Amino acid sequence: MKKTILTGLRPTGNLHLGHYFGACQNYLKMQNDYDFYLEIADVQALTDNFNNPEKVRKNVTEITIDLLSTGLDPNKVNFFIQSKIPEIAELTVFYSNLVTVARLQRNPTVKTEIAQKKELFGNDGESITYGFLGYPVSQAADITAFQGELVPVGEDQLPLIEQCREIVRKFNSIYGETLKEPSAILSETKRVKGLDGNDKMGKSLGNAIFLNDSEEVIKKKIMGAITDPKKIKKDDPANPDICMVYYYHNLVNNKENIEKVCSECKKGSRGCVQCKKELIEAMNNFLAPIKEKRAYYEAHPEEVKEILENGTKKAKQKAEEQMKKIKKAMKIDYE
Ligand code: TRP
Ligand code: SF4
């Protein structure tokens, strides 16, 4: 029996290199060997976009196409839409008894996000909604509705997986051994830095390269990337380790070229403009097959729709079975 993988993404924007190296690469590796459920988490996206439903709606298709364009195989991965699985909402209500408000307020991921969303939740989070504070409970429902055993996520999500494990233990201790405790799986590249040198690439940080950026946009972004500030002249020796151009060469170029960039930069036999031009080319080559698949799916919207329908059907079946077990354990399995 294959182990079950469950992971999710909020449909709030297009995927960038941070998603690709931090998450998608891992999905690609895992898709062959597991029973894989990939949730387009529209309900979770609404917890901080409740006032912007069009954005979430539009991005359900966008993110599905992005994911397919990275090479995920819809015959191996069940893509599904969270809101089409009402069992998840039901489970969220059940689990909400098993977690304290104080524990949710202490969740580091939730805390960070509240601090970032002052416009929505106030300066000190005084206008935090019940729904946003509780989204870790809903995420525990996402995972356990499918008996998810492995959860490939980015580093920032670890506190949410820990919270899920606590809910599972609490559930099992009260209602009997029913749920599996999931484990997080981190990518080799845990985090991708931004064009500005920021530790994290993020859409809202304005420092991201998106998988669907045009060649024109990529050129502009890379030409503006942060390099070693001490390098003024073309033949000044510099330190590639503090240069974002070198950092991205490492992600998308081949070993030989990476070594060349490094040694020439240190020697002062390489100018930054040339170095950036080479990176632009390497980046375009890296993104070319992804864009090619994107173009295919954009031209075949009915296929994307069908992929979501089929995946959602499978997910629904699995969640229904799991729900029966859970209701039985909780003694709410009325006939
Ligand atoms: N919270 C995740 C994120 O923001 C998305 C997500 C929703 C998720 N449901 C999940 C991740 C279940 C793992 C498992 O990226
Ligand atoms: Fe960065 Fe390349 Fe310039 Fe060195 S030569 S500082 S690696 S852009």
Q: Are residues 98 and 67 in the same domain?
A: yes
The pLDDT assigned to 178 comes to 98
Check residue 209 and give its pLDDT. 97
Q: What is the pLDDT of residue 154?
A: 85
Ligand 1 center to residue 334 CA distance, Å?
32
**Which of the ligands is closest to the CA of residue 151?**
1
Residue 198 belongs to a domain = no
| 217 shares a domain with 169 | no
307 and 188 assigned to the same domain: yes
For 187-240, write each residue's pLDDT tens digit: 877 789 999 999 999 988 899 999 999 999 999 999 999 999 999 999 999 999
Task: Find the CATH number of the domain harbouring 228.
Answer: 1.10.240.10
Distance 193 CA to ligand 2 centre (A): 16
State what percent of residues in the chain have pLDDT above 90.
Answer: 93
Point out the least confidently predicted range of 124-128, 216-220, 308-312, 324-328. 124-128
The CB of 41 under 6 Å from ligand 1? The reply is: yes
pLDDT at 207: 95
Residue 207 lies in a domain: no
Residue 201 lies in a domain: no
Cα 289 to middle of ligand 1, angstroms:
26
pTM: 0.94
- The atom of ligand 1 lying closest to the CA of 41 is 7
Question: Residue 183: nearest ligand to its CA?
Answer: 1
pLDDT of 132 > 90? The answer is: yes
pLDDT band at 327 (very low <50, low <70, confident <90, very high): very high
Using CA atoms, how far apart are residues 299 and 109, in angstroms rounded to an integer? Answer: 38
Q: Where are the beta strands (DSSP E) in 10-120?
A: 35-40, 77-81
Ligand 1 pocket, 142 CB below 6 A?
Answer: yes
55 token code pair: 């954005």
Q: In the predicted model, what is the mean pLDDT of residues 149-178?
A: 96
Residue 202: inside a domain, yes or no? no
Residue 75 in any domain: the answer is yes
Which amino acid, one-letter code, is at 153?
V
287 lines ligand 2 (CB under 6 A): no
Mean pLDDT, rounded, for 58-73 = 98
For the residues 317-331, what does the mean pLDDT come to? 98
- Which residues touch 246 (CB under 8 Å, ≥6 apart)? 240, 261, 262, 265, 275
Note whether 19 and 149 are same-domain residues: yes
Same domain, 160 and 61: yes
Domain around 276: 213-293
> Which of 78, 138, 139 best tests ligand 1's pocket when mutated (most atoms within 8 Å of CB)?
139
Same domain? For 79 and 163 the reply is: yes
Residue written as tokens 């939730």?
Answer: 110
Q: How far is CA 182 from CA 21, 123, 188, in A?
A: 22, 34, 19
Do 230 and 164 lie in one domain? The reply is no
Ligand nearest 140 Cα, by number?
A: 1
Q: Are residues 223 and 78 in the same domain?
A: no
**Residue 24 DSSP class:** I
Residue 335 lies in a domain: no
Centre of ligand 1 to C-alpha 116, Å, is 18
User: Could you report the per-residue pLDDT of 20-59, keeping only the tens digit for each?
Assistant: 998 999 999 999 999 999 999 999 999 999 999 999 999 9
Lookup: tokens for 21: 């190296």
**206 domain residue, yes or no:** no
Distant-in-sequence contacts of 318-325, Cβ < 8 A, 24+ apart:
318/37, 318/145, 318/146, 318/147, 319/85, 319/87, 319/88, 319/145, 319/146, 320/87, 322/87, 322/144, 322/145, 322/146, 322/147, 323/87, 323/90, 323/91, 323/145, 325/178
Residues 178 and 255 occupy one common structural domain: no
Residue 206 CA neighbour count, 13 Å, CB half: 1
pLDDT score for 335 = 82
| Contact status, residue 251 vs residue 222, Cβ threshold 8 Å | no
Do 16 and 35 fall into the same domain?
yes
Separation of 156 CA from ligand 1 center, angstroms? 10
The pLDDT value recorded for residue 204 is 85
Same domain, residue pair 224 and 133: no
In a domain? residue 104: yes
Instruction: Give the chain's mean pLDDT.
Output: 96
Q: Which two tokens stand for residue 130?
A: 């019940």
Same domain? 92 vs 123:
yes
* Distance from residue 288's CA to the centre of ligand 2 (Å): 24
CATH number at residue 324: 3.40.50.620
Q: What is the pLDDT of residues 252-294, one digit of tens each?
A: 999 999 999 999 999 999 999 999 999 999 999 999 999 999 9
Does residue 153's CB lie within 6 angstroms of at least one atom of ligand 1? Answer: yes
In the DSSP assignment, the letter for residue 16 is B
Instruction: Classify 38 as helix, strand or coil.
Output: strand
Total domains in the chain come to: 2
Ligand 2 atom nearest the C-alpha of 243 is 1
Output the CA 325–ligand 2 centroid distance in Å: 58
Q: Which of 233, 246, 248, 283 best tests ligand 2's pocket when mutated (most atoms within 8 Å of CB)?
A: 246
